[in-house]
Structure 1
């Protein structure tokens, strides 16, 4: 893909307080909630402190997959050299780890669409952090049709992700959980 210019740049100021992405050829805007930011902040801090030298997390930066899909992951880990360029978009092939926080508006995208696109690009690890259900879904072993490995873990214990970046530990006990989320027995 030769085009690295983000189509989303033209919408940059059009939707304050909303995240925007291009999904299946449509510009999708959805509100940002406090649980989203709290979860991103907690996971970012945990992951960033464990990354090997030469890698950096980014958030809400555009990754154009094709003309109809331009995602802005909640957390993506890319080479630090690329992050230092401070661009508005990057090729998705740079992503080495990705995490999304589920909101009511993003359920289908986070659980169904993005795993296929992320896996098809060979992104080794994908986390879906879900404050609506109080769990994290960890996906690994990417293939052309999606991730072959998948576990669902209730918030509480530390999540250990074995990745090409090394063993990453993500504490989940203090991640925000929606008041109506089911509680483990």
Structure 2
């Protein structure tokens, strides 16, 4: 019991520390299960994938937001997805943290340093937050992994449905009522392949 209370205090302390922390320019900091994780600025391939995805979102139906901190209920996590997609009708008027229950989809673009976080850690965090769709865009393996049907809680949370779509094929984003054209998505050269998902 004492250890749990101590952990809760420590995790709240980390969230408060993150609120006041200013990472160096070009560095992204996020809280993942009580651990502050910092990442270097993204590759051009990454930024172009995010841009091509944003441009396919009809703004009258969906707001694709970058650099938006997300509050995951019941989690000591404040991830910053590469893209958060939600309906403009549920958008709050202000606030640094966007509650996960308002979000329809999150997108992460894999880098050579974020493979494990994107495929494992964030998969369970976003599922725990009951975010209906999590799209992993992987320019290392030239495919997308669409995860839907979140279930469970905490580190045991997961998505029941997983679909792998290679670059060039459309991704059926049923949660958004559209197909994502991936034909413009670039790949990262000279990065060793991995074994995820």
TM range (shorter): 0.7 to 0.9
Gaps of 5+ in 1: none
Would you say how many aligned residue pairs link Structure 1 and Structure 2? 172
Q: Residue 153 of structure 1 aligns with which residue?
A: 165
Is 1:58 the counterpart of 2:65? The answer is yes
> How many Å separate the matches in 2 of 1:24 and 1:96?
21
Q: Deviations over 1:39-75 (max 9, x none)?
A: 11111111x22x663x422111111225631101111
| 3-state SS of 1:90 partner | strand
| Superposed displacement of residue 112, structure 1 | 0.6
> How many Å separate the matches in 2 of 1:105 and 1:180?
14
| Superposed displacement of residue 172, structure 1 | 0.9
Q: Would you tell me which structure has more strand in proportion to its own residues?
A: 1
Structure 2-normalised TM-score? 0.78
Gaps of 5+ in 2: 1-11
Is 1:15 the counterpart of 2:27? The answer is no
Is 1:40 the counterpart of 2:50? The answer is yes
Q: Residue 91 of structure 1 aligns with which residue?
A: 99
Across the aligned residues of Structure 1 and Structure 2, the Cα RMSD in angstroms comes to 2.2
Q: Residue 29 of structure 1 aligns with which residue?
A: 38
- Whether the aligned pair in 2 keeps the contact of 1:58 and 1:83 (CA below 8 Å) is no
- Whether the aligned pair in 1 keeps the contact of 2:75 and 2:125 (CA below 8 Å) is no
**Structure 1 segments (4+ residues) deviating >6 Å:** none
Go from structure 1 to structure 2 and tell me whether the alpha carbon gap of 1:178 and 1:75 turns closer, same or farther (over 3 Å shift).
Answer: same
Structure 1-normalised TM-score? 0.82
Q: Would you tell me which structure has more helix in proportion to its own residues?
A: 2
Which protein is bigger by CA-based radius of gyration? 2
Higher relative contact order (CA 8 A, sep 6+): 1
